[in-house]
């Protein structure tokens, strides 16, 4: 049996604006999806997914996803199955073994559907483990590329390269259009994540920003301001200026809020974090619900979030400089 | 005895950006300060201020402000005395009666120090009542100008013309630099105000925006985006498009939040209003604490705010098309 893991991610800066070619900085976090893969005698796939979340729900399903024993929405299960099937197909293709069968077991510390890149981590780790089980080693770059193809297909063309690249390579990443690169020597980033247990509708949120941007010049300018803020953020990363990174996170959050992608619970968590002394806090990902990320090297923000109504889970998740990893 | 009243105001759009020559739209609200003035035999001034707030505090003071019976911070009392003295001096000057003495009694429905223009309303109504008591009638324009001089002096050069102009003229106002004009035929604006009982430090908040604007190009762009949003808002006012006004208020709030002038309680109230079905909601005034303004023709937002922790007072305060008024 072969085991690989890959990290989830948060957006330090730039979600939504990245859709319009502005730069963004996703960062891998020390929360991983782990995938165990074992070849089968036949050509079938058996998937067992345990503990796909930090808190509150579990998915277990066998050969027939319809019989899954779950307390999560069906579309998440369907998506998860789609990601695993896609990863297996990529592995079969890479190893030129079109009829290879596998038993796949998934464990994840990354809340599902929370904008932390859980699917990208499962796909990256899954392709890595399955190809290695077939005796083939792919570079992190190729894993990122193949994982992106899977996400692109499952998410019907809406996927960004950021999640899969970030999960495969680890560290802080500079994304601009289809161009992804690791940022050298980022400072330690003491991320704290707060999760409201909800999931915004990414497609609708992205469409809402597009509509505002087309309707109003000042909304288009707001998207561009995010891009400029991200460029400043990259300088602050290079200068190890964690205080400025926090300030820029706060500013970025306000611009996202102006674009209509915040929510009451996200705002509540962001302000709980700031009041607790976080250097900065913002929503991360598509918004509308899901997660916030704060910077705090102390335990105050996590504790404050744990006592914040509407925050279902709060955890530390430092920058993970390692991407996909053999376990 | 002569009695005049003048309205408070909210910013529909544009606070903070107005400091940099961008347009803003303050609106008079149906919450008034009423000033009764009576000539005295001597040249002294006696001020009695009752119920200077909606909720929670009362100021009463006589000839010696040091002996004031108050449960508000001393600097507010000092400021209030300064405003009344300034108004009396303007009236003496306008009526060429340098040694006229008055008994002045103030009643106000406008929370003090909450960014609703209570001082401007007291000054406008005070000058009007005192000049009329001396047999002189000033135009609303001249009242606005003289009231501005008082605010300018008391606030040590930081005053904007918006508050005094808006209070003297009533209605929705277009401010750009020193240029103020009434907006013709605005739609009915069903304002609801939520007040957290706090007062941000205006000087510090203005300085914070200035610092960010000087430090970061994207912050300067954010200030400009507010200006463009206000221009769009003026078109929406002309078109009676209340739905769009709400959307623009939400966007304006996000940009203000990005500039660092929101607060936890303001954000809580803004989201309570939005969740209650308000068409839009934003902080109003300098921020950092104080008031939010929402648009809602139903009673939902006011009720929701009344049950929102941290909201000390919630009230309806429709657009007041009348400015200073004889009572």
Q: Is A178 a catalytic residue?
A: no
Q: Which residue of A has its CA nearest to B282?
A: A258
Given CB atoms, is A218 within the 8 Å cutoff of chain B? Answer: yes
B chain contacts of residue A268, beta-carbon cutoff 8 Å: 267-268, 271
Q: B232 contacts in A (CB within 8 Å)?
A: 216, 218
**CATH architecture of the domain formed by A2-183:** 2-Layer Sandwich (3.30)
The predicted structure's pLDDT at residue B54: 35
Query: Which pLDDT value is given to residue A51?
Result: 54
User: DSSP for A32-101?
Assistant: EEEEEEEEESSS-EEEEEE--SSSS--EE--S-GGG-EESS-HHHHHHHHHHHHHHHHHHHHHTT-TT-E
Rounded to a whole number of angstroms, the distance from the CA of B98 to the nearest CA of chain A is 51
The answer to whether the CB atoms of B251 and A226 lie below 8 A apart is no
Q: Exposed (0-12), middle (13-18) or buried (19+): which is A72, by Cβ within 10 Å?
A: middle
| Identity of the highest mean pLDDT range in B83-92, B191-200, B270-279 | B270-279
pLDDT digits (tens, 9 = 90+) for B10-52: 999 999 999 999 999 999 999 999 999 999 998 888 888 765 5
Question: Would you say A14 and A23 are in contact if contact means Cβ atoms under 8 Å apart?
Answer: yes
Q: What is the ipTM of this complex?
A: 0.89
Cβ <8 Å between A256 and B254: yes
Taking an 8 Å cut-off on Cβ atoms, the answer to whether A274 and B264 are in contact is yes
Q: What angle do CA B157, B159, B161 make, to 5 degrees?
A: 125
Q: By the 8 A CB rule, do B198 and A202 touch?
A: no
Residue A63 pLDDT level (bands cut at 50, 70, 90): low
Which whole number is the average pLDDT over B276-302? 97
Q: Give A183 to chain B, closest Cα distance, Å.
A: 22
Report the topology of domain A191-316: Alpha-Beta Plaits (3.30.70)
- pLDDT by residue (tens digit) across B241-259? 999 999 999 999 999 999 9
CA distance A109 to A54: 6
Q: Quick check: A57 and A76 in contact, CB under 8 A?
A: no
Range with lowest mean pLDDT among A17-21, A152-156, B58-62: B58-62
pLDDT grade for B325, boundaries at 50, 70 and 90: very high
Comparing CA positions, the residue from B310, B275, B305, B309 lying closest to residue B293 is: B305
pLDDT confidence of residue B102: 93
B272: chain A residues, CB-CB within 8 Å: 264
| Angle CA A247–A252–A255, to nearest 5 | 135
Residues of chain A with CATH 3.30.70.890: 191-316
Distance from C-alpha of A273 to C-alpha of B216, rounded to nearest angstrom: 24
Instruction: Pick the range with the lowest mean pLDDT from A155-169, A259-273, B230-244.
Output: A155-169
Nearest to B171 by CA among B326, B325, B15: B325
- Name the catalytic one among B163, B196, B296, B320: B163
pLDDT confidence of residue A52: 52
pLDDT digits (tens, 9 = 90+) for B77-118: 666 678 889 999 999 999 999 999 999 988 888 887 788 998
Q: Which residues contact B317 (CB under 8 A, 6 or more apart)?
A: B8, B10, B29, B30, B31, B191, B192, B193
CATH 3.30.230.10 in chain A is located at 2-183
Asked if the model's pLDDT at residue B317 lies above 70, the reply is yes
Q: Mean pLDDT across the stretch A287-292? A: 95
Please determine, for residue A72, whether its predicted confidence score (pLDDT) is greater than 90: no
């Amino acid at each position: 049996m072969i085991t690989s893991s890959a990290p989830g991610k948060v957006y330090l800066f730039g979600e939504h604006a990245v859709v319009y070619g502005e730069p963004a900085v996703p960062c891998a976090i020390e929360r991983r999806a782990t995938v165990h893969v074992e070849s089968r005698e036949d050509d079938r796939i058996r998937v067992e997914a345990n503990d796909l979340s930090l808190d509150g729900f579990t998915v277990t399903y066998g050969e027939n996803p319809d019989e899954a024993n779950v307390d999560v929405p069906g579309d998440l299960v369907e998506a998860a199955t789609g990601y695993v099937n896609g990863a297996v197909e990529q592995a079969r293709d890479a190893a030129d073994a079109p009829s290879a069968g596998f038993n796949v077991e998934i464990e994840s510390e990354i809340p599902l559907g929370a904008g932390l890149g859980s699917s990208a981590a499962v796909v990256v780790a899954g392709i890595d483990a399955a190809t290695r089980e077939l005796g083939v080693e792919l570079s992190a770059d190729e894993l990122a590329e193949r994982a992106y193809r899977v996400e692109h297909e499952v998410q019907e063309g809406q996927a960004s390269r950021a999640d899969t690249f970030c999960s495969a390579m680890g560290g802080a990443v500079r994304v601009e259009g289809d161009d992804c690169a690791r940022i050298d020597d980022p400072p330690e980033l003491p991320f704290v994540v707060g999760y409201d247990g909800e999931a915004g509708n990414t497609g609708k949120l992205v469409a809402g920003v597009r509509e505002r941007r087309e309707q109003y010049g000042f909304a288009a300018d707001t998207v561009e301001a995010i891009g400029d803020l991200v460029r400043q953020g990259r300088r602050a990363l290079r200068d190890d200026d964690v205080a400025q990174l926090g300030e820029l996170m706060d500013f970025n959050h306000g611009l996202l809020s102006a674009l209509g992608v915040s929510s009451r619970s996200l705002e509540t968590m962001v302000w709980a974090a700031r009041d607790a002394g976080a250097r900065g806090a913002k929503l991360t990902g598509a918004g509308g619900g899901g997660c916030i990320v704060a910077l705090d090297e102390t335990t105050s923000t996590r504790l404050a979030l744990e006592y914040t109504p509407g925050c279902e889970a709060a955890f530390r998740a430092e920058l993970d400089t390692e991407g996909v990893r053999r376990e």
